[in-house]
A and B are shown apart, each in its own frame.
Chain A
Amino acid sequence: MTQRQAMETWVGVFVVIGLAAFGVLALKVGNLSSADVADAYQIEARFDNIGGLKVRSRVTLSGVRIGRVKEIYVDSNDYRAVVILDIAGRYANLPADSTAVIQTAGILGEQYVALDPGGDESFLKDGDQIMLTQSALVLEDLIGKFLYNKSDSGEGK
């Protein structure tokens, strides 16, 4: 009897971890909670173009990761992208006039939000908005501009 119970227990364990593995796979596709940003507070930044920024992309200050992108949507009033940033609670002293820039790691790497601290004496609080932003660099636009300038100077000659 005990041997049989042991066998049944093992089958039970097998089925449960099998289903748990399925749960992990399914959950991983949805969203894993951003648990690695400790007692986060949210600030908002608006960009004209976010390029390839994704939810859960890094937010850095002087190159050090201090948070993650929590949410991205478009404000239907002014057609600008609104990016909600989760910033770890221990970096609660960001000056209110800080700048948010979307930068690219390497030339083809993933994009992230780099914060540049300003000189204001008041700090950004939960729910505040970063006023000074700089959009993602879109390589195609840059090439387009370059070609345009080139042909302009060609005509001037």
Chain B
Amino acid sequence: MKLFALIGGGVIAHISRLGRASVFLYRVFLGGWQIFTRPSLLVHQIYAVGVLTLTIILVAGLFVGMVLSFQGYNTLVDFGAESSLGLMVALSLTRELGPVLAALLFAGRAGSALTAEIGLMKATQQLAGMEMMAVNPIERVVAPRFFAGFFSLTLLATLFTAVGVAGGHFIGVTVLGVDAGVFWSSMQEGVDFHDDIVSGIVKSIVFGFVVTWIAVFEGYDAVPTAEGVSRATTRTVVNASLAVLALDFILTSLMFGDV
């Protein structure tokens, strides 16, 4: 009997949390018009969320591209197919690694910061103070962060892919001696703008949406204590990463399942 009550309680808690998250998202969208009247808020958040994440994205992208090129070359050269190296690197990056790794890094670097910031504002009663002054904290604090994260991750994922291809080119062509023309021609032959690049961008838009949604909601919903904020930050990274991986599987099976 106790066991059932435990399961039931857990399910109800999760569903009510999901409900709160959805209502919260709806209110964020309602407050979204604020970013047009005060674009400086958005610019500030794009700086905090996007520009400051740039370093880790660029460095990670470069190294992922280089490693991919090394490993791909070692495998392909056994079959005399090292001419497909460019294709392999570009397809892996545009379809999967660019959006997914950028989203995971983004969740760790920017998502956790968003949660901690909003959670701390709540813990120090800044959000309540805003409400007292008839300033809607969702419009003023949450919405700019949400849209900034959403927008930044799309650009960051594109940058990750581009830098990764450059890293792959450096290792493949400059270090391992694959012909540059073959590298690019196999890539251009095999990578389709609509099927591969646009699909990758759609993925990164979805990931940006989910990761920032989880981050701002966890911050807003945090228990307003030091421990609550730290737990919320942990939950953001864990839940956002799991959500990205699960969604990636679903999106991949939808986009490439019938290819």
Q: Which residues of A contact B (CB under 8 A)?
A: 4, 7-8, 10-11, 13-15, 17-19, 21-22, 24-26, 28-32, 34, 36, 54-58, 65, 68, 105-110
Contact = CB atoms under 8 A, between A and B. Distances in A.
A109 B83 CA distance: 7
Contacts of B192: 29
B149 to A, nearest CB: 13
* Dominant secondary structure at the B interface: helix
Nearest to B166: A24
Nearest to A32: B184
Nearest to A21: B162
Given A22-B162, A28-B90, 7 more contacts: A7-B43, A7-B47, A11-B51, A14-B152, A18-B155, A18-B158, A21-B163
A32 B201 CA distance: 21
Q: Please tell me the size bucket of the interface on B.
A: 35 or more
B44 A7 contact: yes
Given A106-B80, A107-B80, A108-B81, A14 B51 contact: yes
Contacts of B184: 28, 32, 56
Nearest to B200: A25
Interface in B147-174: 152, 154-156, 158-159, 161-163, 165
B83 A110 contact: yes
A28 B188 contact: yes
Interface in B172-188: 179-182, 184-188
Given A7-B43, A58-B181, A29 B159 contact: no
B191 interface: yes
A108 B79 contact: yes
Contacts of A22: 158, 162, 201
Contact of B188 (A7, A18, A32): A32
A110 B80 CA distance: 9
16 contacts: A14-B54, A14-B152, A17-B159, A18-B155, A21-B161, A21-B163, A22-B162, A28-B90, A28-B165, A56-B185, A56-B188, A57-B182, A105-B83, A108-B81, A109-B81, A109-B83
A118 B182 CA distance: 28
